[in-house]
Amino acid sequence: MTRIVESETPLLAPFELLPDCTAAHIEENLPWLAPRFYDPTTRLLVIAIQSFLIRSAGKIILVDACSGNHKDRRRPFFHRREWSWLEKLHAAGVAPEDVDIVMCSHLHVDHVGWNTRLAGGKWVPTFPNARYLISRREWEYWRSEAGVTSLARTGDFISDSVLPIVAAGQADLIDERAGFSECIGIEPAPGHTPGQFVVRLSGGGKEAILSADLMHTPLQLRYPEWSTSFCVNPDAARQTRLDFLRRNCDGALIFPAHFPSPTGGRIRRHGICYRFEYVQ
What is the architecture, at CATH level 2, of domain 2-278? Answer: 4-Layer Sandwich (3.60)
For the stretch 49-90, pLDDT in tens is: 999 999 998 999 999 999 999 999 999 999 999 999 999 999
Instruction: Single out the residue of 9, 30, 12, 29 nearest to residue 223, CA to CA.
Output: 29
Q: How confident is the model at residue 108 (pLDDT cuts 50, 70, 90)?
A: very high
For the stretch 183-237, pLDDT in tens is: 899 999 999 999 999 999 998 889 999 999 999 999 999 999 999 999 999 999 9
Our measurement of the distance from residue 201's CA atom to the centroid of its chain's CA atoms, rounded to an integer in Å, reads 16
Q: What local confidence, expressed as pLDDT, does residue 61 receive?
A: 97
Instruction: Single out the residue of 190, 212, 6, 1 nearest to residue 105, CA to CA.
Output: 212
Tell me what the mean pLDDT of segment 79-104 comes to: 98
Ranges of beta strands (E only) in 122-163 are: 122-125, 131-135
Q: What local confidence, expressed as pLDDT, does residue 203 receive?
A: 86
For the stretch 142-198, pLDDT in tens is: 999 999 999 999 999 999 999 999 999 999 999 877 667 778 999 999 999 999 999
Total Cβ atoms within 10 A of residue 127: 26
For the stretch 250-270, pLDDT in tens is: 999 999 999 999 999 999 999
| The dihedral formed by the CA atoms of 181, 184, 190 and 195, expressed in degrees to the nearest 10 | -60
Residues pairing with 52 in the sheet = 3, 63
CA distance 139 to 182: 27
Give pTM, 2 decimals.
Answer: 0.96
Q: What angle do CA 52, 58, 61 make, to 5 degrees?
A: 25
Q: Locate the domains of the chain by residue range.
A: 2-278
